[in-house]
Chain A
Amino acid sequence: MTTAVEIREPGIAAVQDLGRIGFTRYGVPVGGALDQYSARVANALVGNAQHARLVETTAMDFGFVPEGDVLIAVTGAVATVTLDGVQAPMWRPVAVPAGTHVSVSRIRVGYRCYVAVRGELAADEVMGSCTPDAGLGIGGMLQRGERLPLRSGFAMFDHPYLRHPLLRPDVTAHRLGSPWTIDVTDGPDTAAFDGWTEAFYRAGYTVSERSNHVGLRMTGDLPEPSYDTELLSRGVAVGAVEVTPSTELLVLLRGRGVTAGYPVVAVATSTAQSLLGQVRPGDEVRFRRRSVDEAVTAYRAERSAVDQLETRMRALFQQLRIG
């Protein structure tokens, strides 16, 4: 069945997925939801594949009206979710009757929310992904009045089991809020900052207004490398903490250019990268050193928890015959 979602308050929102993977050798950044954990959980909660398209909304109030009955889940930053003005929970699947005004507003701890809708949202794709990329000319911000087609088998229901507390999905929102503790491992140039590492881990860094999906710029006690700071362009990973010649650290996010020549003093862990997607300008960030083993273990635990949630939710929807 095809229905649609009409955008009423566009905020700063776009249709996203987990990214355009496998094209860094074409110079194409991976993009995708900046808080991957919240995006995966939102999709799992409505029984979608974790990489399904969903809406990412940043900072501003966002509102829409589904033309048909839909099942949604809102995750990410702490916000107020209402259905026709009545508060609804986050981090849970929520049934929304056709014509209801859904609002995600007052994002206040963290920066971005994710709205997953059971089914498939329509969007153009390039290189296997709908993630917006201005350089490629794909995707863009949602506009007031825009209708997003949705293919969905969902029909409205009201089942006592879904209201029973025992069957509330067991899912953890990650810990949000400034000051942020961002786990990092050593980077390829950490040794060049010998003598500065203690200060780097003690310092608080302030996130600048000039931050965006490409990277977070931060001011604070800047480490100084012991060698010339401009290297030949080489691949840089998402999460790299670069020391630039200006007075800022640059922590790369998923919109980052794939090559750069600045030294990398540390690399945010995969779990920390989801947190970085929630950091706001003006927030304070501290870095915490982790070993690679600790980082891998933490990420595997996180992915495993979401996989289990996905499995449980799909089984539940199947048992309850929810389309």
Chain B
Amino acid sequence: MTVQVDGYGDSAVLVTVRGGSQEERWRSTHAIATALRHHGHPAVLDVMPTYDTILVEFDCSLAHPADVTRTVHAVAADASPWAPDAGTRRFAVPVRYGGEHGPDLESLADELGLAPADVVNLHANRWYRIRCIGSPAGAPMTDGPDLPAPVRRLATPRVRVPEGTVAVAGRQANIYATSSPGGWRLLGRTPLRLFDVTADPPFPYRPGDEIRFFAIGDDEWSAYAGERLEAADDHGR
């Protein structure tokens, strides 16, 4: 695998890991991001790993992009392998699919030539590895369910997607841990609370952890409402 570092304006560089399998690139990406954070370059403001890229943001009044690029290459060459399996936590997320909580379930099923129940069955009851935390705040981003085609985003994003909404786009899936505008397709919503601004960290999962969704009915909503999402015990519930 190789590490490519490209300029991204005067105050950021974009690191791309190339070669190997998708899984290997993802692990290497997070290994490098972890190493960069621990390295603690004084000009670096943030290190944002996703699937196979890292955005490194810095204050260019303190360091030139060329310096940061050199640092990234040096740190990447020395980075320890990243092994999330040790201490991987698993989260089971109850979801009320469709209806007002999942306004795109039917239209998406229609586009894919499936019944809504098929889409639910493909999304639920399997483990997804959290690839990175993205936007909006605290969104656990994973590979998407095994749908017959990539999911098209909305041409015009919704002004507000309620927090807890479970969504898909392209070949990805996530949960809107906080409410925000959004262009992803909405399948359902969890009554659990994912994001607590007073906690540190404000959400309980990390890249490398796993999530599983399971369907609940309207009558079960209040039992979960407002409860925090917590890691499952060994039985995965």
Binding stretch for chain B, among A55-63, A140-148, A180-188, A196-204: A180-188
Given A233-B51, A237-B11, 17 additional A-B pairs, CB 8 A: A22-B46, A26-B133, A26-B137, A26-B202, A28-B138, A134-B180, A135-B163, A234-B53, A235-B14, A235-B55, A236-B55, A240-B9, A245-B155, A258-B48, A259-B134, A267-B8, A296-B60
* In the complex, chain A residues whose CB is within 8 Å of the CB of B53: 234-235
User: Which residue from chain A places its CB closest to the CB of B66 in the assembled complex?
Assistant: A292
* In the complex, chain A residues whose CB is within 8 Å of the CB of B7: 185-186, 188, 292
User: Which residue from chain A places its CB closest to the CB of B163 in the assembled complex?
Assistant: A135
CA distance A188 to B16 in the complex (A): 11
Shortest distance between the CB of A306 and any CB in chain B (Å): 10
Shortest distance between the CB of B196 and any CB in chain A (Å): 10
Asked whether A315 is an interface residue with its Cβ less than 8 Å from the other chain, the reply is no
A232 touches B139 (CB 8 A): no
Shortest distance between the CB of B118 and any CB in chain A (Å): 24
Asked whether A230 is an interface residue with its Cβ less than 8 Å from the other chain, the reply is yes
CA distance A55 to B97 in the complex (A): 43
A234 touches B133 (CB 8 A): no
Asked whether A126 is an interface residue with its Cβ less than 8 Å from the other chain, the reply is yes
User: Which residue from chain B places its CB closest to the CB of A267 in the assembled complex?
Assistant: B9
Q: Which of the listed residues B54, B133, B179 has the most CB atoms from chain A within 10 Å of its own CB?
A: B133
User: Which residue from chain A places its CB closest to the CB of B207 in the assembled complex?
Assistant: A25
* In the complex, chain A residues whose CB is within 8 Å of the CB of B177: 27
* In the complex, chain B residues whose CB is within 8 Å of the CB of A258: 48, 134-135
Asked whether A21 is an interface residue with its Cβ less than 8 Å from the other chain, the reply is yes
Given A25-B49, A136-B137, A234-B50: A185 touches B201 (CB 8 Å cut-off): no
Give 19 CB contacts A-B under 8 Å. A22-B45, A24-B48, A26-B203, A133-B137, A134-B179, A135-B179, A135-B180, A136-B178, A230-B150, A232-B51, A235-B14, A235-B48, A237-B8, A237-B11, A239-B9, A258-B135, A259-B48, A296-B65, A304-B61
A185 touches B9 (CB 8 A): yes
Given A234-B50, A257-B135: A187 touches B10 (CB 8 Å cut-off): no
Asked whether A223 is an interface residue with its Cβ less than 8 Å from the other chain, the reply is no
* In the complex, chain B residues whose CB is within 8 Å of the CB of A26: 133, 137-138, 201-203
A269 touches B180 (CB 8 A): no
* In the complex, chain B residues whose CB is within 8 Å of the CB of A88: none
User: Which residue from chain B places its CB closest to the CB of A257 in the assembled complex?
Assistant: B135
Shortest distance between the CB of B49 and any CB in chain A (Å): 7
User: Which residue from chain B places its CB closest to the CB of A235 in the assembled complex?
Assistant: B55
Interface residues of A in 148-206 (CB under 8 A from B): 184-188
Given A186-B7, A300-B61: A232 touches B46 (CB 8 Å cut-off): no
Shortest distance between the CB of B155 and any CB in chain A (Å): 6
Find B10's partner among A185, A188, A233, A235 (CB 8 Å cutoff): A185
* In the complex, chain A residues whose CB is within 8 Å of the CB of B155: 245-246
A188 touches B49 (CB 8 A): no
A135 touches B136 (CB 8 A): yes
Question: 4 tightest A-B contacts by CB?
Answer: A235-B55, A267-B9, A257-B135, A235-B48
A292 touches B10 (CB 8 A): yes
CA distance A283 to B61 in the complex (A): 30
* In the complex, chain B residues whose CB is within 8 Å of the CB of A269: 9-10
Given A27-B136, A136-B137, A259-B134: A303 touches B46 (CB 8 Å cut-off): no
User: Which residue from chain A places its CB closest to the CB of B172 in the assembled complex?
Assistant: A233
A136 touches B170 (CB 8 A): no
B49 touches A237 (CB 8 A): no
Asked whether A77 is an interface residue with its Cβ less than 8 Å from the other chain, the reply is no
CA distance A299 to B58 in the complex (A): 13
* In the complex, chain A residues whose CB is within 8 Å of the CB of B156: 246
CA distance A227 to B54 in the complex (A): 21
A135 touches B137 (CB 8 A): yes
User: Which residue from chain A places its CB closest to the CB of B56 in the assembled complex?
Assistant: A235
* In the complex, chain A residues whose CB is within 8 Å of the CB of B6: 188
> How would residues 185 to 216 of chain B score, 1 for a CB under 8 Å from any chain A CB and 0 otherwise?
00000000000011001110000000000000
B55 touches A21 (CB 8 A): no
Asked whether A47 is an interface residue with its Cβ less than 8 Å from the other chain, the reply is no
Asked whether B141 is an interface residue with its Cβ less than 8 Å from the other chain, the reply is yes
Asked whether B126 is an interface residue with its Cβ less than 8 Å from the other chain, the reply is no
B64 touches A296 (CB 8 A): yes
Given A185-B9, A245-B155: A299 touches B57 (CB 8 Å cut-off): no
* In the complex, chain B residues whose CB is within 8 Å of the CB of A185: 7, 9-10
User: Which residue from chain B places its CB closest to the CB of A186 in the assembled complex?
Assistant: B7
CA distance A99 to B132 in the complex (A): 52
CA distance A23 to B10 in the complex (A): 20
Shortest distance between the CB of B108 and any CB in chain A (Å): 16
A300 touches B14 (CB 8 A): no
CA distance A36 to B53 in the complex (A): 28
